[in-house]
Structure 1
């Protein structure tokens, strides 16, 4: 397993198939997927294994990055994902995050994704990164703005209005 970076409380690393129970656990609560557009995609251990094996592991090989596991240092527990995705529907790189509700409101998502941005600035060839956040999801909007992302545009997708945020990773 490849460790990407660390924070005071977290290890950010690539997922492995052994993480499937944790992926199922952090995707199961209804409120986790309320605004993601993929509610119901991860309901079984087999679903979690497919996400890891057929999406994340493939993206690591294809792009050198993908969604990464957020692991609590104290307990070695995978509590969610963070990091980047080559988002083909927008032809750009997206930063995303998902976290089990037991860990909401503790600053872990901001901590993890700030570490991802810092890592990308030093080790990845990315110019601009986007985050699409449902307008109704104020907690995720707060994360995006705490990361230094700025409002770019708004669009409608299905039942939700999304705000697109952006950040430049290139230093002048």
Structure 2
């Protein structure tokens, strides 16, 4: 975390996600600007015991809302491995649509996007 300068550089980044009632750490979710691709990526990772409970979808929706309303972004992308059906479902639930297939370092990725 000491080297995480995304907030200083861009004014936003990834957030820890805590359970509202118990304050248990569930994982993280947030927006990240990728200079090389000139795009803002929605990312999320949750501990497996918290999968399929709606936490990723709820957090991702809030990130998109903040991205458009407060940060005034025009477009947000989500990159996912094709075999990660659960994450694809989250991206679709938050309104993202498939845009393209990319190969990065010999790894296939699907790119989804949503525009304001």
Q: TM-score, structure 1 length as denominator? A: 0.64
Q: What is the number of equivalent residue pairs in this alignment?
A: 116
The residue aligned with 1:142 is 89
* Two-structure CA RMSD over aligned residues (Å): 1.2
After superposing on structure 2, the runs of 4+ consecutive aligned residues of structure 1 that deviate more than 6 Å are: none
The residue aligned with 1:26 is none
Aligned partners of 2:82, 2:6: CA distance in 1, in Å?
A: 28
Q: For the pair shown, which has the larger CA radius of gyration, 1 or 2?
A: 1
Aligned partners of 2:87, 2:108: CA distance in 1, in Å?
A: 14
Is residue 10 of structure 2 the alignment partner of residue 54 of structure 1? Answer: no
More strand by share: 2
Q: TM-score, structure 2 length as denominator? A: 0.93
Shift of 1:120: 2.0
Aligned partners of 1:62, 1:160: CA distance in 2, in Å?
A: 28
Aligned with residue 82 of structure 1, among 16, 29, 33: 29
Is residue 92 of structure 2 the alignment partner of residue 128 of structure 1? Answer: no
Shift of 1:77: 1.7
Gaps of 5+ in 2: none
Shift of 1:159: 4.8
Residues 1-172 of structure 1 correspond to what in structure 2 (within 5 A)?
A: 52-55=1-4, 58-169=5-116
More helix by share: 1
